Structure 1
Amino acid sequence: MTKISELLETAVGPAVTVLDGIDDNSLEAPTPCAEYDVRALINHLFQVIVNFQALAAREDVEFGAAPDVVTGNWRARFGEEAARLVAAWAVPGADEGTAGAMGLPARTVGNMVLGDLTVHAWDLARATGQEFAPDASVLDEIGPGLAAMAPMAREAKVFGEPHPVPDGAGPFEQVLALTGRDPGWRPPGA
Structure 2
Amino acid sequence: MSTEISELLETAAPVVTGVVRGVRDDQLDEPTPCTEFQVRDLLNHLLQVTRNFEALAHRKDVDWTAGSDRLSGEWREEIAGDLAALSSAWADPQALDGVSPGMGLPQRTVGQMLVADLVVHSWDLATATGQAYEVDPALLAATGEFLDVMGETGRKMGAFGPEVAAPEGADRFGVLLAKTGRDPGWKPAS
Smaller-chain TM-score range? over 0.9
Tell me the amino acid that sits aligned with residue 160 of structure 1: G
Counterpart of 2:65 in structure 1 is 64
Q: Distance in 1 between matches of 2:66 and 2:161?
A: 20
Shift of 1:158: 1.6
Query: Compared with structure 1, are the counterparts of its residues 166 and 36 closer, same or farther at alpha carbon in structure 2 (3 Å cutoff)?
Result: closer
Tell me the amino acid that sits aligned with residue 115 of structure 2: L
Q: Distance in 1 between matches of 2:29 and 2:91?
A: 35
Residues 82-139 of structure 1, C-alpha deviations (whole Å, 9 max, x = no match) = 0000000001221222124232111110011111111111101011000111110011
Unaligned stretches of 5+ in structure 1? Answer: none
Q: Distance in 1 between matches of 2:103 and 2:77?
A: 32
SS at match of 1:19: helix
Shift of 1:167: 4.4
Residues 2-34 of structure 1, C-alpha deviations (whole Å, 9 max, x = no match) = 210110110111111000000000000000011
145-154 or 84-93, which moves further after superposition? 145-154
Tell me the amino acid that sits aligned with residue 111 of structure 2: G
Q: Distance in 2 between matches of 1:35 and 1:183?
A: 16
Unaligned stretches of 5+ in structure 2? Answer: none
Is 2:183 the counterpart of 1:182? Answer: yes
4+ runs deviating over 4 angstroms: none
Shift of 1:165: 1.4
Q: Distance in 1 between matches of 2:148 and 2:43?
A: 24
Tell me the amino acid that sits aligned with residue 37 of structure 1: Q
Q: Distance in 2 between matches of 1:78 and 1:126?
A: 19
Q: Would you say the 8 A contact 1:16–1:79 is kept in 2?
A: yes
Residues 131-151 of structure 1, C-alpha deviations (whole Å, 9 max, x = no match) = 111110011111021221111
Q: Would you say the 8 A contact 2:59–2:102 is kept in 1?
A: no
Counterpart of 2:40 in structure 1 is 39
Tell me the amino acid that sits aligned with residue 140 of structure 2: L
Counterpart of 2:104 in structure 1 is 103
**What percent identity do the matched residue pairs reach?**
48
Q: Distance in 1 between matches of 2:101 and 2:20?
A: 27
